[in-house]
Amino acid sequence: MVGSDPLVITDLTVPLPRRPLEAGSRIRDWYENELEWPTVPARRGTPLRLSVGERFDVLDVPAEAGRAGLRHLAPYSPVALQGERMRLLVAPGSAEELPGLLDWLEWGGLVPDLRAIGEGGVIDAPSPPDRGDTLQGAAVWLRPPEPGRAVEASLPTLSAAGDVGGAPDLVRLVGTVAAHCHRLWLRRACAQPSAIAAASDQALAFS
């Protein structure tokens, strides 16, 4: 109206639209906020990685050997797959104990395919279980961790032979996967002379 003061509206705050999280950000959010697992910043085009040694260590074994060890794990022990390798999550500090444990089990030096990743190491972060667009060759969860469940209580540990809070026994797990790793190594070693002999026979046939 003429002669009246203009109507002034104050404190009108319109929130800016939120940008949707990118795929990598959603995965990082799941690990850092829902599981409270430390991650390693990923460069563009590289997978997100998990920091090892604080919440868990990792036994990295051939998938066939890993499947044999699953019976020694608790139902909620997280297990990941990547290619032909299985990654069994174990209690922090287990990687440091592994050489001595293998010697005690009389497997020292006989299972080069059994690897341990401990403090300072990293692994590729498997996609959360509700994502179905995992790329071929990427890490995936065979037994995913559960948000809200403390992972440490389900991990194989050397302490008290698995008598701590119902945690599985690391000794039995390592003994089983070591035996199967050695068996796989022997199988490959025995197959190599056969392959060489077959190649020699084929060369003679064409000579």
In this prediction, residues 13-39 reach a mean pLDDT of 71
Residue 104 has pLDDT above 90, yes or no: yes
For residue 181, the surrounding DSSP H or E stretch is helix 170-205
In this prediction, residues 4-10 reach a mean pLDDT of 49
Model pTM score? 0.78
Query: pLDDT over 90 for what percent of the chain?
Result: 57
pLDDT at 133: 57
- The residue assigned the tokens 């991990």 is 155
Residue 2 has pLDDT above 70, yes or no: no
